[in-house]
Amino acid sequence: MLRYKADRRTIGFVATYFALVALPFAVDLPWWAAVPLVVALCLLSFFCAVATHNTVHTPVFKKRSLNRLFQVALSLTYGHPVSMFVPGHNLSHHKYLQTPKDRMRTDKLRFRWNLLNQLFFMFVIGGAIFKDNAEYVAVMKAKRSPWYRQFLLEMTVYVAFLVGTLALSIWMDGFPWRFLVFVVLPHQYAAWGIMGVNFVQHDGCDVGHPYNHSRNFTSKVENWFTFNNGYHGIHHEHPALHWSLAPEAHAKEYAPHIDPRLDQPSILLYAFRMYVWPGKRVRYDGTPVVLGPVVPDEPWVQTAVKQGGGDAELAGDGEYGAAA
């Protein structure tokens, strides 16, 4: 059923999310239980967002129908239709890394206090991504694309999930605080986290270098929870590589060539140095990040559609992201 046994962990995380998100709608929780539950749901929703990222590169199941159903389930954990991950990530970020066609390029953030660059990354890049997504949906709808049908299914089920949990929350309390705290907040945290991680993975790297274009985080504990998302350089080189194979591929193909300063032992420790103390925005070699003039975004949607982008990334249709 599964293409890789390692995705038992993926299924386990998704199942745990659904079990925990159902809990506050089944019983009344005291505050000392509600607070850690919210924290757990925020983290689980983010981990499921990472699983979403993996899914739009490599299908989890052998059967196409199961992959499409799994995308629907993931949409409820992440708080966004999984298919919508494809335009901004597979077709913009991967193909046009740190160029004007990459809506997630880090030079859009120009706060002097580096912590603000990380905190506001999603809000700065979000408008351009939303605009591209709307254009992409319209084009794929006009084409009667399989991608559009899958997106529509995910969106319909997700909206029904929101309406259902909202109505249940109001019925239980007269005010939708359970819906806002246990559903909306974790979903927003997941979106902020999965977009914001692009900043820490690419800012201050060398986009033109064959190996030094991405920052890696090698902590075994962090990578266990994030499905080896820390091995980001090898992911850009081989987007369709299953996440369970990333550490070995990184050790063989990247570690011998990458600047060792781009192999960080922990994303948490790195974030403390970059955003708290000393909190300076520097390149991987320790020199200050020098930003060039502001460059406007360049269009990419029409080109991607002409090249078949989107349908090729539909779950179950083979390995995704063949273009890095």
Domain boundaries, the chain: 7-209+290-313
How many of the other CB atoms lie within 10 Å of CB of 302?
Answer: 11
Q: What is the pLDDT of residue 228?
A: 99
**Nearest-angstrom CA–CA distance, 203 and 192:** 17
**Nearest-angstrom CA–CA distance, 208 and 165:** 47
Q: Which residues pair with 263 in a beta bridge?
A: 216
Q: What is the pLDDT of residue 27?
A: 97
Q: What is the pLDDT of residue 306?
A: 81
Nearest partner of 200 among 275, 250, 97, judged by Cα: 275
Q: What is the pLDDT of residue 324?
A: 30
Residue corresponding to tokens 């998704």: 14
pLDDT of the chain, 324 residues: tens digit per residue: 999 999 999 999 999 999 999 999 999 999 999 999 999 999 999 999 999 999 999 999 999 999 999 999 999 999 999 999 999 999 999 999 999 999 999 999 999 999 999 999 999 999 999 999 999 999 999 988 899 999 999 999 999 999 999 999 999 999 999 999 999 999 999 999 999 999 999 999 999 999 999 999 999 999 999 999 999 999 999 999 999 999 999 999 999 999 999 999 999 999 999 999 999 999 999 999 999 999 999 999 998 888 766 555 544 343 333 333
Q: Which residues pair with 55 in a beta bridge?
A: none
